[in-house]
Amino acid sequence: MQWESVIGLEVHVQLSTQSKIFSGASTAYGASANSQACAIDLGLPGVLPVLNEEAVNKAIKFGLAIDAQIADRSVFARKNYFYPDLPKGYQISQFELPIVGRGQLTILLENGTKKTIGVTRAHLEEDAGKSIHDKFAQYTGIDLNRAGTPLLEIVSEPDLRSAQEAVAYLKKLHGLVRYLDISDGNMQEGSFRCDANVSVRPQGQAEFGTRAEVKNINSFRFVEKAINFEVERQIDLIEAGGVVVQETRLYDADRDETRSMRSKEEANDYRYFPDPDLLPLEISANQIASIRGTLPELPDAKRIRFQQQYGLSESDAAQITDSKEMADVFEQILSLGSKDAKLVANWLLGEVTAYLNKYSQEVQNAPIDAKLLAGLFIRIEDKTLSIKMAKEVFASIWSGEGTADEIIDAKGLKQVTDVSALEALVTQVLTDNSAQVEQYRAGTTKVLGFLVGQVMKLSKGQANPQMVNQMLKDKLDV
């Protein structure tokens, strides 16, 4: 039977405020345990939460960017459950009246088509603290520094049909929160976390199957693996005559599997009610208009501009504008004297991305920058460097050996484009390889590659291969 997977994602984004959503404690990452957990975060008796203006503004900014309705009136609710890293016994969240209503996000699929993914809602809530289970034999240690950090929970419609689509949506969302500067998006530090609701159904069936919620997915790679595992598990289960039960499952990256979290089952009754400590939040049209005025150029608009202004293909433009930092580097390079936008795009998506992935780095903190790259690309454009030489120079720039020009000088890497110098080499190769010349003239034209290789060898790799190719042809074809 052909199966179709149906996936919806819940993404928790930590908003990059200075202080917590309901208290004046710092949200800085990595501080000494419990040094940023005040009486409000600890839920001591008699304290009252006061809402952080900036958390509200960042949520509105996100809503506007996905074309969602911003609620003129939204309400905070208590989500009740017991866990030691939730000192109050409830999480302040939003339930019936979230701040951001229905919106949408368009993703570009691998086959080049676009797909619009619905965003059901986004609401403000507080993060919980951290439980440390492996430090003490008898106890669990609790660090409440994270308790009260503002979160925006973004819930998608079940519009995603494969793990690849889920990753594309997640990357798009990640790029968007970075563009909007509402979160640092750091997945290692937990600023951008994802739960996936996964179900399967026979191809063509209208009703959804029973879904399982997969938690604890904290990298793009794991999202794909966790969803694929869960889809396979459900298909195998149904095909073996079993039924999928609605449950919460935890993804274990070390074992690449999901497993049931039974303890979550009975607790799945949160008894939400409006939080009496917080009044309804009203947002005026003026406030929305003024925030709209602060929106930067967003990825889709930037992609279209890059296609029009620089003649990039849709796919190249989309990949470059996925990340604001990459898009900025692209434009900086072109403003620093490099002229060939297509060449710049190819390098950024090829060699540069390969190095970033290899060394697990982001473009903004890599050992290369727009200035160094522009210096390299200018030398490709003026034909000082062949592509092969440029890759060598790039590797040296990456390892901190200097600018392109410094490395070219130090290594004597200059492409020979002087016609008379090349003529001499070409003539010599033709004289030395009369057998191949005869073969070529007898119709075995593929020996041309061999002859080009001989010239390149003679020039110690510095001859311009396109010129050598043309000159050899000119001489052989007479």
Partner 1 sequence: MILDPEQLYKIANLAKLEIAEDTVQPLVEDLSRILSMVEQLNGVETEAVWPMAHPLNATQRLRQDRVTEPDKRTELQSIAPAVEDALYLVPKVIE
- Residues forming the site for partner 1 (CB under 8 A): 17-19, 23-26, 32-40, 42, 50-56, 75, 80, 82-84, 96-97, 131-133, 135-136, 138-144, 250, 261, 263, 266-267, 269, 271, 274, 276, 278-282
CB closer to partner 1 out of 82 and 446: 82
- Closest contact distance (angstroms) between CB of 82 and partner 1 is 6
Closest CA to 145 of 281, 34, 310: 34
Pull the structure tokens for residue 20: 């917590």
CB nearer to partner 1: give 44 or 410. Answer: 44
Q: Are strands 273-274 and 150-156 parallel, antiparallel or unpaired?
A: unpaired
User: Residue 137 or residue 240: which is nearer to partner 1 going by CB?
Assistant: 137
Least separation in angstroms between CB 414 and partner 1? 55
Question: Buried (b) or exposed (e) across 146-185, using 16+ Cβ within 10 A?
Answer: bbbbbbbbbbbebbbebbebbbbbbebbbbbbbbbebbbb
Q: How far is the CB of 34 from partner 1 (least distance, A)?
A: 5
CB of 52 to partner 1, least distance (A): 5
Is residue 327 within 8 A of residue 321, CB to CB? The reply is yes
CA distance 437 to 252: 63
- Cβ neighbours, 10 Å, residue 112: 10
Smaller CB separation from partner 1, 140 or 313: 140
Nearer to partner 1, 106 or 294 (CB): 294
- CB of 147: closest distance to partner 1 in angstroms? 11
Cβ partners under 8 Å of residue 455, min gap 6: 422, 425, 426, 429, 463, 468, 472
∠ CA 235-240-246, rounded to 5°: 55
Nearer to partner 1, 114 or 271 (CB): 271
User: Minimum CB separation from partner 1 for residue 249, in Å?
Assistant: 11
Contact 468, 422 (CB under 8 A): yes
**What is the three-class DSSP state of 372?**
helix
Question: Between 51 and 298, whose beta carbon lies closer to partner 1?
Answer: 51
Nearer to partner 1, 80 or 433 (CB): 80
Measured CA to CA in angstroms, residue 307 lies from 104, 297, 303, 310, 315 at distances of 22, 15, 6, 6, 9
Name, in order, each residue with C-beta under 8 angstroms of 278's C-beta and a sequence gap of 6 or more: 49, 51, 76, 92
CB of 266 to partner 1, least distance (A): 7
Positive or negative torsion for Cα 414, 368, 316, 162 = positive
CB atoms within 10 A of CB 84: 13
State the nearest-atom distance from the C-beta of 196 to partner 1, in Å: 18
Q: Which one, 239 or 265, has the nearer CB to partner 1? A: 265
CB of 86 to partner 1, least distance (A): 11
Q: Each residue of 321-341: b (16+ CB within 10 Å) or e?
A: bbbbbbbebbbebbeeebeeb
